[in-house]
């Protein structure tokens, strides 16, 4: 087992644990983007969050929301990012699904430099068809 988050789940590597259920664990990120940055991970090894059992994803989100509320009360942050990086091209470094919860403060200097395009209506129709007919 070489996965760092599997090792944390197994207790082989320490973490600053915040909460856990039978299937989900939450702990502080070791290189936080902001104070209180935390991660929610499935205990079972799943590389890509969007391939996890939707019920498990729901448990991750449920824990993230509860911890987000608690972190907001504790840190008095002004907002929060909930972020899933899925795949190396999307910025995922640790190949074990994890949901980032990043407390945000006014003028905290953190910016998401994502370029934005413009939705073309013919493509929108094609996209809606292509995606919805593959939903399972
Ligand atoms: P990614 O870029 O894969 O979405 O994010 C991985 C996150 O895991 C990073 O924010 C990084 O700081 C965090 N991380 C990596 N290794 C460890 C570790 O050993 N312990 C903890 N607590 N966080 C880690
Ligand atoms: Zn793992």
Residue 113: per-residue pLDDT: 83
| Ordered per-residue pLDDT tens for the chain, 136 residues | 799 999 999 999 999 999 999 999 999 999 999 999 999 999 999 999 999 999 999 999 999 999 999 999 999 999 999 999 999 999 999 999 999 999 999 999 999 888 999 999 999 999 999 999 999 8
Which of 31, 40, 103 is the pocket-test mutation for ligand 1 (most atoms within 8 Å of CB)?
A: 31
Range of the domain at 39: 4-132
Residue 107: per-residue pLDDT: 96
Which CATH number characterizes residue 36's domain?
A: 3.30.428.10
- Cβ(83)–Cβ(102) under 8 Å? yes
Phi, psi of 22 (to 5 degrees): -60, -25
Report the SS3 class of residue 27.
strand
Atom of ligand 1 nearest to the CA of 93: 3
- Cβ(101)–Cβ(64) under 8 Å? yes
134 Cβ contact list (under 8 Å, min separation 6): none
How many structural domains are present in the chain?
1
Atom of ligand 1 nearest to the CA of 98: 4
């Amino acid at each position: 087992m070489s996965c760092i988050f599997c090792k944390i789940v197994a207790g082989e590597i320490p973490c600053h644990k915040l909460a856990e259920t039978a299937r989900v664990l939450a702990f502080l990120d070791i290189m936080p983007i902001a104070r209180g940055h935390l991660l929610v991970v499935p205990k079972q090894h799943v590389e890509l969050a969007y391939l996890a059992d939707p019920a498990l994803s729901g448990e991750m989100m449920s824990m993230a929301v509860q911890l987000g509320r608690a972190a907001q009360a504790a840190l008095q942050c002004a907002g929060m990012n909930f972020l899933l990086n899925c795949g190396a091209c999307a910025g995922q470094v640790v190949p074990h699904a994890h949901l980032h919860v990043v407390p945000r403060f006014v003028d905290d200097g953190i910016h998401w430099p994502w370029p934005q395009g413009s939705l073309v209506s013919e493509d929108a129709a094609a996209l809606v068809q292509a995606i919805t007919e593959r939903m399972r």
